Amino acid sequence: MLSQEPIEWPEKVEILIDRLEHESSERALTREERALMDVYETVAILESEDGLHGFWQSGLDHQRIINSFDIIGADSMVDPLNASRWCQTRSEDREDYSETEAEYLATIEEEVPAALEELVDLVLEFIEEELG
């Protein structure tokens, strides 16, 4: 789906994610910590070849993840996720989409690279404000 370079998370984010992954086995994460983990883990799916289709075909808690993007302030990701919600009722094979469905999804996916590009700054700001 995406023709851009994958997101390179700053070391600060990577260290925090590693710490939260470790701590999640010992305690329940706060909603803000869970939101950060959701966003971090979902980016790899959105950057994959299957993009939004892959997200909707995954076994993830889709609404929780959309809410997580909203919590960190990534409204530009919430819109394409919501607009592509219909993908969850389609075949697991993206090739089974009608021409109209494929074109519509491609149009929605055009918004994703720019939304992902601003994500690093939003995550860093969220960490400073909410997880300090």
Structure tokens that stand for 28 in this block: 């329940």
The pLDDT tens digits of the residues spanning 5-24 come to 789 999 999 999 999 999 99
The three-state secondary structure class of 48 is coil
12-16, 43-47, 91-95: least confidently modelled range: 91-95
Q: How far is CA 60 from the centre of its chain?
A: 11
Has residue 22 been placed in a domain?
no
Instruction: Give the confidence band of 4 by pLDDT, cuts at 50, 70, 90.
Output: low
> Smallest Cα–Cα separation from 77: which of 131, 9, 29, 123?
123
The three-state secondary structure class of 37 is helix
Structure tokens that stand for 15 in this block: 């260290």
Q: What is the pLDDT of residue 74?
A: 96
> Smallest Cα–Cα separation from 53: which of 98, 85, 79, 82?
85
Has residue 82 been placed in a domain?
yes
Has residue 64 been placed in a domain?
yes
Has residue 21 been placed in a domain?
no
Tell me how many domains the chain contains: 1
Q: What is the pLDDT of residue 81?
A: 97
Q: How far is CA 122 from the centre of its chain?
A: 13
Has residue 90 been placed in a domain?
yes
Has residue 11 been placed in a domain?
no
Domain that holds residue 41: 28-131
Has residue 98 been placed in a domain?
yes
Has residue 125 been placed in a domain?
yes
The pLDDT tens digits of the residues spanning 47-62 come to 988 899 999 999 899 9
- DSSP assignment of 55-74: HHHSSS-HHHHHHHHHHTT-
